[in-house]
Each structure stands twice: as C-alpha cells, then as structure tokens.
Amino acid sequence: MNLENLDKEYVLHSYGRNYTSFVKGEGAKLFSSDGKEYIDFGSGIGVCSVGHANPKLAEAVCEQAKKLIHTSNLWVIEPQAKLAQRIVELSGYDMRLFFGNSGAEANEGAVKIARKYGQQNFESKRYKIITLEHSFHGRTITTVKATGQEKMHTPNFSPYPDGFLHVKSIDAIYKAIDSDTVAVMIELVQGEGGVQPFLKSEVQELAKFLKAEGLLLIVDEVQTGVYRSGEFLASNYYGIEPDIITLAKGLGGGLPIGAVMTSLKDIFEPGDHGSTFGGNYLSTQGALTVLEILESEYKEERIEERIALFDSYLAKMADSLPQIFEYSVGLGLMRGLRCKSAEVQNSVVSKAFEHGLIVLKAGRNTVRFLPPLTITKEEIVEGFKRFEAAVMEIEDSE
C-alpha cells in the first residue's frame, strides 16, 4: 500500500491534503520523495522559525533526548524555568508563564485566567470575552467559538460554550462591552483573516481604555510572536502591555509547545490548570535553543534585512501585476498579497507549488508568506524568482 492510500485508509480525513511527501529539509528548502527541491515560504505555517534541520536545534534536541525527555510537572523542570525567565526578559513585561503544547491550549489557558479574574474582581462574576471578525484562535470547542468566523461555527459540533461575542472592528468593541464583559482578545495581525494588521493608534487607544476600566487585554501572539513581526512580540512593536499573551508556533521551531503569559502572576493556584506534556524537558530545551538562535539573528539585524528584502519583492509584485494582486499586506515576515479573487488565489498557490515554491492561503483571498526567520538572501531571491515565473504563467493564460 503506497503512502497516499495508507494515509487515506488509517488517518481521519480532517485535512485537504497535498500528497507530496517531504523526506528532508535544509534551511528554507524541502526535498520531496521524488527528489524535487522546494523553497519553503510557509515554514510549516509559521512553525519552523529557524528553518528545517537547523543543526543547533537538532543537536540540542538530541543531547536532551539522551538525558531526559519527560518527567511530568510534578517536579521542577530546569529548562522550563529557564525558558520562562528568557521569554519574560525578552518581552520586557513582568509576567509568569504556563506551558502547554499548542496555540489552542495557550488560548484555553488565557480564557481560564480571564474567567478567574472575572470571578475575583467584580461584584458579580464577569465572564464574556469579545473577539473580532476574521480572527482565529484555535480548533478546540472553546477556541473555535472564540474565533470570529461564522463558517467555523457549524451545527456539527454544537452546542458551543457561552461567553464569546464577535464584533466587526476595534471601534465596535467599545459599544459591545457590558456588565458581563471581562476581556477583549485580539490578534494584532490577523493571520488566517488575511494577514491583516491593525493600526497602532487604535490598538494603543483600546489598551489604554481597557486598563482604565479594569478589563483585560488578551493578545493572541501564536503566529506573531517570537520575532515574526520583526520584534520579539508584536505587542512590543505596537507599544502596548497586554494583561495576557499567548505564544506557540515559532517558539519551538517545530517542537510542539505553547505558552500563556500574564501579568496576573498569582491568578492560578495548584489544581487550577495543568498539562501532562506541557513544558517538558525536550520542548523547553528546544525552545531555549530557538530563542538563542533568533536573538542573535535579531541583534545582528539579519531579520531586519530579510524583512526589507521581502518588502521590496512584494511591493514589486503588487505594483507590476495589478490585474492579479490588489496590494501587499502584513508586517515583519508575516506577509501577504491580496488577490483579485479566490480563483486567482487558488491558482497562485497551486502554480507556485508546481514551480517549486511553497506559499499559503489565508482569508480575504490572500496569498500568505511565512518564511523561516533564518532564511538566506539566496533563498529569498530564488523563491521570488520561482514565484514570478508562476504568476507570469497565470497572467499569460488569462
């Protein structure tokens, strides 16, 4: 039985798979079982932040695996404590962390923190969390309901948990707040929602308002965090201090890890929350190594150089092909090209793959770019060479 049939026979059909099988990676390159090379501008949906088969990360994981992989959170875990310290130091915020295994778990933790805060700090319990249209916060029942996309709230999985309200814009949040509201949860750049950033001024005004009202600001940095925005956190870039921040994706460089960090440092007590696998030796040692690599890349301004190069290529594509692309969106190395239609978007993604380039789809007809943060100049140049060839083929066929 070949791999495609094996997958179809034994794995639940929850993904619309491309049945290309990758067998090796190197930096921003992937190699398929038939020997074809691809430039990866998707990095596993923003996960492989230090590229594929990064030698420092591989060595750290191997050395840790030889000693200890897991003991459980019944005992103190040295790399977990050191990772929490490092994240706090890099963020510049006075916070504590809880480690899980994914972005959805991190957002579940954020919801629990907000609800306990709502129980403890108001005359009558507050529990409602306001989120935004086009947002994406995860695939668990709770985080699906927190997600501001009605297409995800199908009857198949109902009833959904109460306590979430979706509004169309940041301006609409103010009128939506009522006596049950405890928090607002936003992504500073909506990834699945079209790589759409919000204005600094409106985010800063919202943060100031919520602070004055004693309500919490939760910032979902599952995709924007760990230098993806150009700064360690997008919250740093926006000049705000949220009450709760969630991280995942690029933090582990491919290892499953999520984290919720909060200035409510004593909100949880033993028994309030937990995770069997969260923050184990392997994932936290790997994440420490990822931060070491990326901090060096940031300080040496190599991330900034890659952002500038991406900027120039995306601006060129948008300007020279107005019949295909409307404009460039995003910030840092979380970027997109807004297409004229969903049909054009589908064509661009599939044709790019044929030319040996991986790009992703996002909402609002957007082609999404999430390259490894360690991608080389040569890989960027070659990737856009392939992208331009793919797009020109589409243009010629119209």
Confidence (pLDDT) at 295: 98
Q: Are residues 291 and 321 in the same domain?
A: no
Q: Is residue 92 part of a domain?
A: yes
Q: Are residues 90 and 176 in the same domain?
A: yes
Q: Are residues 13 and 106 in the same domain?
A: no
Q: Are residues 76 and 197 in the same domain?
A: yes
What residue type is 345 in one-letter code? Q
Q: Of 130, 87, 334, 303, which Cα lies nearest the Cα of 223?
A: 334
Q: Are residues 366 and 273 in the same domain?
A: no
Q: Is residue 251 part of a domain?
A: yes
Confidence (pLDDT) at 395: 76
Q: Are residues 79 and 159 in the same domain?
A: yes
Q: Are residues 142 and 236 in the same domain?
A: yes
Confidence (pLDDT) at 397: 67
Q: Are residues 75 and 148 in the same domain?
A: yes
Q: Is residue 266 part of a domain?
A: yes
pTM (whole model) above 0.95: yes
Per-residue pLDDT of the chain (398 residues; tens, 9 = 90+): 899 999 999 999 999 999 999 999 999 999 999 999 999 999 999 999 999 999 999 999 999 999 999 999 999 999 999 999 999 999 999 999 999 999 999 999 999 999 999 999 999 999 999 999 999 999 999 999 999 999 999 999 999 999 999 999 999 999 999 999 999 999 999 999 999 999 999 999 999 999 999 999 999 999 999 999 999 999 999 999 999 999 999 999 999 999 999 999 999 999 999 999 999 999 999 999 999 999 999 999 999 999 999 999 999 999 999 999 999 999 999 999 999 999 999 999 999 999 999 999 999 999 999 999 999 999 999 999 999 999 999 876 66
Q: Is residue 60 part of a domain?
A: no
Which of 237, 265, 299 terminates a domain? The answer is: 299
Confidence (pLDDT) at 315: 96
Contacts of 45 (CB under 8 A, 6+ apart): 249, 360, 370
| CATH at 18 | 3.90.1150.10
**DSSP letters for 135-203:** ----SSHHHHHHSB-GGG--GGGPSPPS-EEEESSHHHHHHH--TTEEEEEE-SEETTTTSEEPPHHHH
What is the extent of the structural domain holding 138?
68-299
Domain total of the chain: 2
**DSSP letters for 296-325:** HHHHTTHHHHHHHHHHHHHHHHHHH-TTTE
3-state helix, strand, coil in the chain (%, to 5): 45, 20, 35
